[in-house]
A and B are shown apart, each in its own frame.
Chain A
Amino acid sequence: AQTVTQSQPEMSVQEAETVTLSCTYDTSESNYYLFWYKQPPSRQMILVIRQEAYKQQNATENRFSVNFQKAAKSFSLKISDSQLGDTAMYFCAFMDSNYQLIWGAGTKLIIKP
C-alpha cells in the first residue's frame, strides 16, 4: 500500500527563520505527483506547492521550495523568512496513477513573533 509519512507532528520557529518540514512516501510507481497543502486556523486548505515526479528540478513558489529526492522517496518543504501567517497545519500528499490522493497526518507549524 502506498503511504505518506510526516514524522514531525509539531514544530515551532521564530519569525524570519527558515524551517523545513519532512515528508517521505512509499510507492512502486515511477510517475506521480506530490503536493504540500496548508491549512491555516480558519480551516480552508490551500495548495502551497506541487511537484511532478518526472521533473528533476525542485519546485519553488516564492518563499516556499521543496527538496525532492526521488530515489530516497523524500519530499521536504522549506519555508524561508517565515512569517506569522505561515502558522498552519501542513499536509504532504501523493497522487497515484489512479488519481487518488494519499495524505500524511500533517505537521502543525507555529511561527512565534
Chain B
Amino acid sequence: DVKVTQSSRYLVKRTGEKVFLECVQDMDHENMFWYRQDPGLGLRLIYFSYDVKMKEKGDIPEGYSVSREKKERFSLILESASTNQTSMYLCASSSAGRGNTIYFGEGSWLTVV
C-alpha cells in the first residue's frame, strides 16, 4: 500500500512562531502536494513539487514556503504563523503523468493561537 505520512496530526502554535509540517511518501512518486482544507472551501493548493528541489506555487502560497531536498520528503513551512492559518493541512503524492491517482496523508490539524 502507498503510504503518505505526515509527521504531526495535531499542533498548537503561537502567533509568530515558525512551523514545519513534514511529509514523507514511500512510493517513489515524482509529484508531491500541500493542500489546505477549510469547511465549505474544499481543498486549496498551496504548493506542489514535480521533482527534487522543484516547486510551483498553487492557489494560496502567501505566507507559506516549501522544501524538497529528497524525493520522498516534502516540507511545508509557515515562516511566521498567524491565526488565519489555523486549518487542516493535507500532504499528497502521485506518480508523474496526467490522471494518476493522488494519495493523501491523514492530515495535520494546526491551531495558531
Contact = CB atoms under 8 A, between A and B. Distances in A.
B34 interface: no
Interface residues of B, number: 17
Nearest to B107: A43
B90 A50 contact: no
Range for the number of chain A residues in contact with chain B: 20 to 34
Interface stretch (B11-19, B65-73, B75-83, B94-102): B94-102
Contacts of A103: 42-44
Interface in A95-110: 95, 99-101, 103-106
A42 B106 contact: yes
Contacts of A9: 40
A44 interface: yes
Interface string B52-95: 00000000000000000000000000000000000010101000
Given A44-B105, A47-B101, A95-B99, A105 B41 contact: yes
Contacts of A45: 90, 92, 104
A43 B88 CA distance: 10
Contact of A91 (B43, B92, B101): B43
Nearest to A105: B42
B112 interface: no
A95 B107 contact: no
A42 B106 CA distance: 7
Contacts of B44: 103
A46 interface: yes
Contacts of A64: none
A15 interface: no
Given A42-B106, A43-B107, 14 more contacts: A33-B99, A43-B106, A44-B104, A44-B106, A45-B104, A46-B104, A50-B99, A52-B99, A91-B42, A103-B42, A103-B43, A105-B40, A105-B41, A106-B40
Interface of B: 40-45, 88, 90, 92, 98-99, 101-102, 104-107
**Interface pairs A-B: 10 shortest CB-CB:** A45-B104, A103-B42, A33-B99, A103-B43, A105-B42, A43-B107, A44-B106, A47-B101, A43-B106, A105-B40
